[in-house]
Amino acid sequence: MMKQSVKYKFFSNKNGKSKGIYSSLNCGLNSKDNSNNIKENIEIAKKFITKEKKILIIPNQSHSSKCLIVRKNKFDYNCDSIVTRDSNFILGITTADCLPIILIDYQSKVIGICHAGWRGLKRDIIENTINKMLKINSKKSNIRAFIGPCIRKNSYEVSREFINIMKFNVKGLWTKKNDKYYFDLPKLAKCKLNGSGISAIVDSKIDTFKNKKYFSYRRSIHLKYLDYGRNLSLVSII
C-alpha cells in the first residue's frame, strides 16, 4: 500500500519463479531453494515497491531483540529489526509464521520493519524498534503499525512449558481447548505496541498456517516437508 510517499507490502507466495514446496515467490535466502530463483523473486518484489534504483536491506535474522538504524549500504545487518529515514533504501524482512510488523511515521518520514516471533516479543524487539525510530526524529504520536500475515491463535498450539515461559499480564493471551494450549502472538504484539504508546494499529488478520497463499513453517512440518519458503515484507520512503 502507498500513502504520503511511503509504500509497503506484505507479499504472498504468488507470482514468483520458484517451484515445488517453494512455489513460487520464495524470498528465503537461507532456504534450500535454487539461489537464482530466490534472487529473481526478491527482484520481482523490489520492483513492485519501486522501479527506482534503491538499495534493499534484509537483515540476518536470529530471533534477537536487536534493531539497527540503516544509514549506509553494508552487508552485516545482524539484527531482527531495521529503521531508516533515508529514501535510498528499501527495508525488508522474511517470515514464515512469525509476525512481520511495519512501522511508519508519515509526518517525519521515518520507517521501520520488524521480525517478531515469540522470542523477539519476549526480548522487547518492538520497544527497541520504536526507540530507534525516536532517535531519528520520529514521534510516537505519529507512528502507525501494520501487522502482516502470521500464525494466529487457533493455529498456534504450544506446550504448557511455553505458557509458563511467556508470562505476561494480558487477558486472553492463551486458551486451553481439549487439553491443548493455544497462544495469541498478534495480541501480545498489539499489547506491546499499546504499551509503547502506539494506538494506530492495522492488522491483516491473515493466518499463515491456514492460508496457503503464504508460506508457513508449521504447515511445512505438518506436511513433513524438508524445508519451507519465506514470505517477504518490504517498506520504503518513495
pLDDT at position 173 is 97
* Alpha-carbon span 122 to 130, nearest angstrom: 15
pLDDT at position 1 is 59
- Mean pLDDT across the stretch 154-175? 95
2-151+186-237 in CATH: which number? 3.60.140.10
pLDDT at position 74 is 74
Mean of pLDDT over the chain: 96
Which residues, in sequence order, are CB contacts of 92 under 8 Å at separation 6+?
A: 27, 45, 56, 57, 58, 113, 232, 233, 234, 235
* Alpha-carbon span 97 to 109, nearest angstrom: 28
Query: Cβ-count burial of 144 within 10 angstroms (0-12 exposed, 13-18 middle, 19+ buried)?
Result: middle
Residue 4 has pLDDT above 80, yes or no: no
pTM of the predicted model, to two decimals? Answer: 0.97
Q: Where are the domains of the chain?
A: 2-151+186-237
Range scoring the smallest mean pLDDT among 74-88, 136-150, 193-207: 74-88
Residue 2 has pLDDT above 60, yes or no: no
CB-side exposure of 56: number of CA atoms within 13 Å? Answer: 22
pLDDT at position 73 is 79
* Alpha-carbon span 174 to 163, nearest angstrom: 8
Question: pLDDT for 62-88, tens place per residue?
Answer: 999 999 999 987 778 999 999 999 999
Question: pLDDT for 17-33, tens place per residue?
Answer: 999 999 999 999 999 99
H or E segment to which residue 133 belongs: helix 125-135
- pLDDT classification of 197: cutoffs 50, 70, 90: very high
- pLDDT classification of 189: cutoffs 50, 70, 90: very high
Residue 119 has pLDDT above 70, yes or no: yes
